[in-house]
Structure 1
Amino acid sequence: MGSKKIYKPSQHRKVCLESCRCLMMATQEEAELCFPQLNSSCRKPTLHWSKAVLLKTVLSFISLVTVVLNLLIIISISQFRILHTTTNILLLSLAVSDFLVGLLLMPGEILRSTTCWFLGDVICSVYFYLGCQIVCASIGNIVLISVDRYVAICHPLYYASRITLGRVKCCIGLCWLGAGFCSIFYMKDDLIQPGRSKSCFGECMLVLSYVTGTTDLILNFIFPVSIIILLYMRVFVVAVSQARAIRSHITAVTLHHSVNLATKRSELKAARTLGVLIVVYLTCYCPYYTYFLVETNVTSIENASFLIYVFYFNSCLNPIIYALFYPWFRKAIKHIVTLQILQPGSCDANLL
């Protein structure tokens, strides 16, 4: 009887199969790296491509809307002379900071959180420096707006003499200058040595020390929020009493008193609008700083990107609030869209 032959894979074939498998795994690992040629490269974000496209599309749209709406605010207040009031100059400064958030910070955060960072360590440090300066300036503008409304509502007889265009412009300049110095304090180590905080290549990271983080929490959140809340509590009490006085005397006033009442209504409406502005500001900023109290190194956590998006989304909501509550903004948009601002004398148009 002939013996039956049984086929067994040779040892050489086993080695080949394992070598091919190892080669495929190494190739796959290299494809997942930001810089395959570097041993200390970061891994690419693991978000599915469809979710990544959707996320980038939504965030890019929000960034575009933020830029366009705040640009309309800037053009409106800059173009029409009737809008050159102290309150509107403060709104103009806030719109500039919001415009820069949409133009620079939002795209930078989209790039930083959804893909590898290919722009280098220097650009990363500059990005965080600009982020600190713009955010600090925005918070300072909110505080200045609160002070402006406090004086207008609680001390109306002194408003015209104390809150002048010259003083407001000087305060805005000091606000932006102070924001620049604060940013240098926060970023001094990263500006001297870019990339010192990153753990691998392809990462853009900012790690604040305990002292720097605590200082940021106090100067950019606790201190300004305390001032804003105290001022608006006082404004709210006075505004309610003035509104009651207007309703009780609305039926028996002279023409002169009617003008005064109309002025008071305008001030109260401005206070209400800016009150909504403050509430939205607190709603967007509180999650980030509240989380900071729990986790000091918030910028190194995956959830930090969502908190930063909410943080920046305030810049998109501000001009929407203007459009809802300020009729002059809607009229100004109409002049801009229909190109009436190109006509001679358009800067003297009456939008009120």
Structure 2
Amino acid sequence: MRIVVISSGFSTEDILNHTLSHSEANCNCSSSSRVLEEVGRWFLASALIAIALAAVLGNLLVIISIAYFKKLQTPTNAFLLSLAVSDFLVGVLVMPFSLVRTVDSWQFGDIFCKVHSILDVTLCTTSIYNLSCIAFDRYFTVCDPLRYNYRMSTSRVAKLLFLCWTLPLLVSCVPVVLDLHVKGIEKHLKEVGPNICILVVNIPYAVVASMLCFYIPAAVMLAAYGKLFSVARKQARQIDTVENQVNGRIFCPLRARQRFTMKKERKAAKTLSIIMGIFLVCWLPFFVVNITDPFMGYSTSPVVLEVFLWLGYVNSSMNPFLYAFFNKSFRQAFVIILGCKMIGRQFQNSDLSGDTSRQAQTELGLFSR
């Protein structure tokens, strides 16, 4: 190779100074970018740690409340307890390792990557199944209250809880252990770089798992809550009509009662909208990508997958607020626990919410059983 030097009227010293100045500028730019990158990484880590802590502490508070207060140990709250346990385990066993993978890279080897994937799918699906059982329970509370004790007996609740935990384990464990989820896509797996723990699945597994883990439970929740609100609204109007007819024989129609009925309807609609809205916002993006990505040649960016997965994790952090903090009995239990007032049996056996049955009727049976 021949090197050609072209003279341009600059001295050697000028050329060296110009080169050094450019090197210093490039060095300063690189240092600034590294600083910004580290700041962004720490900010991301802090946000993800906050999500994990909310899932752990919030669900732990629900678990302690149900375990300590006998008034909260009901068949209905058995589903809330199971939900809190599954979300708590997501915060303890899944989120910390996902956090390291998201902020840096996977540092725990290929074997534990499989274990982590199994835990991730199992616990998140169990959480979704528990949400479906809660929707079923609240549906029977309002739509068939006379046969509620028969339909949601202790044995049936136990069977539903058994399915909530075993079916997700089968969906996640058997295909991953036997490598059925990667059959036919071995060439694509070779393109995945080192220190990356991504559950890459073939089309059959993506479709079946997505349907079992999300779409069918979500359809059940939508149907149950839609019917629940429709029946509760109809019952509230019937009660208001009967009371107005009886009172109209003696007094003028009670406008205040009508306003109260409308207020209950708006509250029920708002509550159900919040429940389903947050659930769909958290999990729908991930499962849409999960079922479409194999058909698109696995072209979805890993960053997009991480964002949508953590959005799903947020649901585990929000569930204690949605399903327990809206309940007056749980709110009172939380105040007692956080106030360190769990001294003596009078708190353990205390009636946390007064007349529970009347409260259930007042709030249309949505959150107060």
Q: Which bin holds the TM-score, normalised by the shorter protein?
A: 0.7 to 0.9
Distance 1:206 1:218 in 2: 17
With over 3 angstroms needed to count, the CA separation of the structure-2 counterparts of 1:270 and 1:241, relative to structure 1, is closer
Segments of 5+ residues of structure 2 without an aligned counterpart are 1-10, 13-22, 24-33, 248-262, 354-369
Letter in 2 for 1:219: L
Greater Cα shift, 279-288 or 69-78: 279-288
Task: Give CA-to-partner distance per residue, 1:61-120, whole Å, 9 cap, x none.
Answer: 121122111100111112111111222111111111111122222222211111122211
Distance 1:156 1:271 in 2: 20
What is residue 198 of structure 2 aligned with on the other side? 205
Q: State the partner residue of 1:125.
A: 114
Give how far 1:127 is off.
0.8
Q: Is the counterpart of residue 216 in structure 1 residue 217 in structure 2?
A: no
Q: Shift of the alpha carbon at 1:191?
A: 10
Q: Which moved more, 1:320-329 or 1:162-171?
A: 320-329
Conservation of the 8 A alpha-carbon contact between 1:105 and 1:127: yes
**Residues 151-189 of structure 1: CA deviation (Å, up to 9, x unaligned):** 121111110122122321231022201121111134224
Over 3 Å counting, the alpha-carbon distance change for 1:191 and 1:203 in structure 2 is farther
Contact 2:70/2:348 (8 A) holds in 1: yes
User: Are 1:156 and 2:136 counterparts?
Assistant: no
Structure 1: state its 5+ residue gaps: 1-7, 10-20, 22-44, 254-264
- Seen in structure 2, the aligned counterparts of structure 1 residues 87 and 126 have a Cα distance that, compared at 3 Å, is same
Alignment match, 1:180: 169
For residues 96 and 102 of structure 2, the distance between their equivalents in structure 1, rounded to whole angstroms, comes to 10
Does residue 239 (structure 1) correspond to residue 232 (structure 2)? The answer is yes
CA distance in 2 between counterparts of 1:271 and 1:162 reads 25
CA distance in 1, matches of 2:130, 2:177: 24
Distance 1:325 1:227, change over 3 A: same
TM-score, structure 1 length as denominator? Answer: 0.76
Post-superposition offset of 1:284: 0.9
Q: What letter matches 2:147 in structure 1?
A: Y
Q: In the alignment, is the contact (CA less than 8 A) between 1:149 and 1:271 conserved in 2?
A: no
Matching residue within 89, 93, 117 for 2:78: 89
Specify the alignment match of 1:310 in structure 2.
311
Aligned partners of 1:232 and 1:275 also within 8 Å: no
CA shift for structure 1 position 130: 0.4
Give the letter aligned to residue 336 of structure 1: I
Q: CA deviation at 1:53?
A: 0.4
Report the Cα distance in structure 2 between the residues aligned to 1:275 and 1:243, rounded to whole angstroms: 19
Distance 1:102 1:47 in 2: 28
Shift of 1:345: 4.5
Q: Partners of 2:267 and 2:119 in 1: how far apart?
A: 34
Q: How many residues align?
A: 302
> Is 2:299 the counterpart of 1:301?
no
Task: Report deviation, 1:211.
Answer: 0.9
Deviations 1:8-27 (A, max 9, x none): 99xxxxxxxxxxx9xxxxxx
Amino acid at match of 2:328: P
What do you get for the CA RMSD once the two structures are aligned? Answer: 3.5
CA distance change for structure 1 residues 192 and 231 in 2, over 3 Å: closer, same or farther? closer
The question of whether the paired residues in 2 share the 8 Å contact of 1:323 and 1:329 is answered with yes
Residues 1:102 and 2:95 aligned together: no
Match of 1:261 in 2: none
Which amino acid is 1:226 matched to? A
What CA distance in whole angstroms lies between the structure 2 residues aligned with 1:139 and 1:323? 16
**Is 2:100 the partner of 1:111?**
yes
Contact 2:279/2:315 (<8 A) preserved: yes
CA 308–91 in structure 1, closer or farther in 2 if over 3 Å, else same: same
Q: Check conservation: 1:85, 1:165, Cα contact below 8 A.
A: no
Asked if 1:70 is matched to 2:68, the reply is: no
Query: What are the residue-to-residue correspondences of 1:12-31 with 2, within 5 Å?
Result: none
Alignment partner, residue 28 of structure 1: none
Residue aligned with 1:233, SS? helix
1:172/1:46 CA distance change after superposition, 3 Å: farther
Tell me what 1:41 maps to: none
Hey, what's the Cα distance between the residues in 2 that align with 1:157 and 1:134?
A: 34
Percentage of pairs with the same residue: 33
What is the rounded CA distance, in whole Å, between the counterparts of 1:47 and 1:200 in structure 2? 25
Output the CA distance in 2 between the equivalents of 1:238 and 1:107. 43
1:144 equivalent in alignment to 2:133: yes
CA contact (8 A) 1:206 1:299 kept: no
For the structure 1 residues 300 and 187, does the alpha-carbon distance in structure 2 shift closer, same or farther, using more than 3 Å as the test? Answer: farther
In 1, Cα distance between equivalents of 2:74 and 2:304: 41
Question: Letter of the aligned partner of 2:332 in structure 1?
Answer: K
Question: 2-side partners of 1:53 and 1:221: how far apart?
Answer: 32
Q: Contact 1:70–1:95 (CA<8 Å) still a contact in 2?
A: yes
Aligned-partner Cα distance in 1 for 2:236–2:63? 31
